[in-house]
Amino acid sequence: MSIFYQNPVLKTTNTLSQEESKHCAQVLRHTAGDEILVFDGQGCRYTGILTKVSKSACEFEVKSTEHFPKKPFSVHLAIAPTKNTDRMEWMVEKLCEIGVDQLTFLVTQHSERRKLRLDRMEKKVISAMKQSKNPFKLHIN
């Protein structure tokens, strides 16, 4: 079953983002009536039925909801960005997969990189969250 990310998920009809809709319609070739899983990144997994499928907007209705309890502890990691962005993206992916809650990038005296593409990091987090079926999204500070 295909997994998608949508936040927030409403009790009525929902529409996937344009990027997720394009992936659903063109890459996975879903049609109306197909069943999908949707994560909201806040501990809920929804089973949905696609009602309308197009590459610009895919609509689904929530069939069932499953809530996952939060861990009794929180893991917050603070690091200085490395020079190599590929390593940073790989690290963000792995941290999300193992269940780290928050990540903070620090600028230190000897930092080699002062700017990060947080939009790209966010895409990596969502991808890792879906791949590992982790119901909680890594928060990047």
Sign for the CA dihedral angle at 47, 49, 55, 57 comes to: negative
pLDDT score, position 54: 86
pLDDT greater than 90 at residue 8: no
Identify the pLDDT of residue 109: 85
Band of the pLDDT at 110, cuts 50, 70, 90?
Answer: confident
pLDDT score for 6: 85
Please give the average per-residue pLDDT across 13-34, as a whole number. Answer: 88
**Average pLDDT in the chain:** 89
Q: Can you list the alpha helix ranges (DSSP code H) found in 99-139? A: 118-132
- Determine the Cα–Cα distance for residues 62 and 41; give it in Å rounded to an integer: 16
73: CB partners within 8 A, 6+ apart: none
Partnered with residue 103 across adjacent β-strands are 77, 140
With 0-12 CB in 10 A as exposed, 13-18 as middle and 19+ as buried, what is 4? buried
Q: What is the pLDDT of residue 1?
A: 78
pLDDT at 93 over 90: yes
Query: Is-contact 54 25, C-beta < 8 A?
Result: yes
> What's the pLDDT at 100?
92
Q: In what order do the strands lie in the sheet with 139-140?
A: 76-79, 102-105, 139-140
Contact 2, 24 (CB under 8 A): yes
pLDDT of residue 31: 86
